[in-house]
Amino acid sequence: MSKVPEDIVLVTGYFDLLHSGHIRFLEEAAKFGEVIVSLGSDANSVASKGKEPICSEEERKYMLESIEFVSQVKIARKTGPLSFEEHLEFFQPDWFIINSDGHSVEKQACCKSYDVAYKVLERLPKRNFTPRSSTTLRGLDFIPHRMDIAGGFFDQKKLNASVAGAAIICNIEPKQLADRAGMSSSTRKVIRELFGNRLPKSHSEQELANIILAYENFDQEYISGATDAYGLIFSSVCRFEFHDSYRPYAIEKIHHAEILNWLEQHLFLYFTHARPEGYQVFDGRESFPNDVLQEYALTSDSTWEAIQDRNLDYLIKCVKRTCEIQKQLIPGYVSDSVSAELAKMNSNGMGAKLMGAGGSGYVMMVAHEQPPDTERITIRRESLNL
């Protein structure tokens, strides 16, 4: 006895960041017949949404083909909201099924022109699972943070034109951190405007950092420092050297896992409070004498040596001195409300300095053991994907 042929069901979508909501939709669609997926291409995502998918079209195709509810997967080469039309014409399905959030009058009219039944499914989570959507998942933050360990003002041409110096920046995996707290929230906002919630893989670190630095400072009187743009992009711990420029002329990166593992055991974040509205870092008291800048540059070099040698006591000493010099150069770097707390940390066998230059916010602490009320950090390795 021959098998009765099933109806053919065409579905469409990108199916990026595949989740249980996608599987549930395909399971329901399969009740109507043999499911063929018209998969949105990478090019269509760029053209329609202005960004690349997280997973490539071939990777998404591979995952969909492994699902028992799917018969075939074809990548749609046309762009636009009706990219599936080529498969509508080729397969002549009995049904076109779509989720309610993907429904449009334009799609319904297209199916009607091919005499294909149009079915809209509501989102119904399987069992008691949490409802999932790609939009929600894309809202997660995958942009790294940065910790400025030493030389944090040397990205300003006003300083490095007089004395060349290096900034030591540690790039860390994303955390739930407060805004306006010295952790580059404004530059991270720029990254989200440009690329969404993660860094693209289509550019080198150097290219990305240059794009972000230029975009953030377009038509601005005050130039935001490269330690944010470069520090958020370059993985690991880097030494950025500056001389008479807003961009570093040389970059050195730590590749040894043993050093990074050691740092993770001794670097911690402590939150004071967010920078108050209207707080003025630059209040007219700042000054940049060459002898102090030269000591600041030497302290940055010593910090780099301490990290390379895994010399914790020396690193603590360097961080303390960095904090002192930063406050000497820019008194508003530390607010009165944080000053006493920071001094106490630096007198208890630890090294502590404020992140950024906002008066308050997060403090980086260097210690033999994790201090109370602090957070551990994870340094972003090059082998980890964004």
- Residue range 8-123 in CATH 3.10.180.10: no
Task: From 185, 184, 191, 174, select the one nearest 148 (Cα to Cα).
Answer: 184
* pLDDT number for residue 356: 82
Contact between 303 and 150 under an 8 Å Cβ cutoff? The reply is yes
* pLDDT number for residue 197: 81
The dihedrals phi and psi of 60, each to the nearest 5 degrees, come to -65, -40
Give the CB-side neighbour count of residue 315, counting CA atoms within 13 A.
21
Contact between 160 and 242 under an 8 Å Cβ cutoff? The reply is yes
* pLDDT number for residue 4: 45
Contacts of 76 (CB under 8 A, 6+ apart): 12, 38, 39, 40, 41, 44, 83, 84, 86, 87
Residues 233, 183: Cα–Cα separation, whole Å: 13
Angle, CA of 331, 334 and 338, to the nearest 5°: 145
Contact between 49 and 93 under an 8 Å Cβ cutoff? The reply is no
User: 3-class SS at 8?
Assistant: strand
- Domain ranges across the chain: 8-123, 145-376
* pLDDT number for residue 385: 42
Q: Which helix (H) or strand (E) covers residue 136, if one does? A: helix 134-138
* pLDDT number for residue 139: 60
- Taking only the tens place, the pLDDT of each residue in 348-381 is 899 999 998 778 999 999 999 999 999 999 999 9
* pLDDT number for residue 40: 95
Report, as ranges of residue numbers, the positions in the chain whose pLDDT lies below 70. 1-5, 125-140, 383-386
* pLDDT number for residue 138: 59
Q: Is 100 exposed, middle or buried (0-12, 13-18, 19+ CB in 10 A)?
A: exposed
Task: From 54, 45, 93, 98, select the one nearest 71 (Cα to Cα).
Answer: 93
* pLDDT number for residue 383: 46
- CB burial of 153-164 (b: ≥16 within 10 Å; e: otherwise) equals bbbbbebbeebb
Q: What is the distance of C-alpha 39 from the center of its chain?
A: 27
| CATH code reported for the domain at 145-376 | 3.30.230.120
Residues 127, 286: Cα–Cα separation, whole Å: 62
Distance spanning both ends of the chain, measured CA to CA = 54
DSSP 209: H
SS3 content of the chain, % helix, strand, coil (to 5): 40, 20, 45
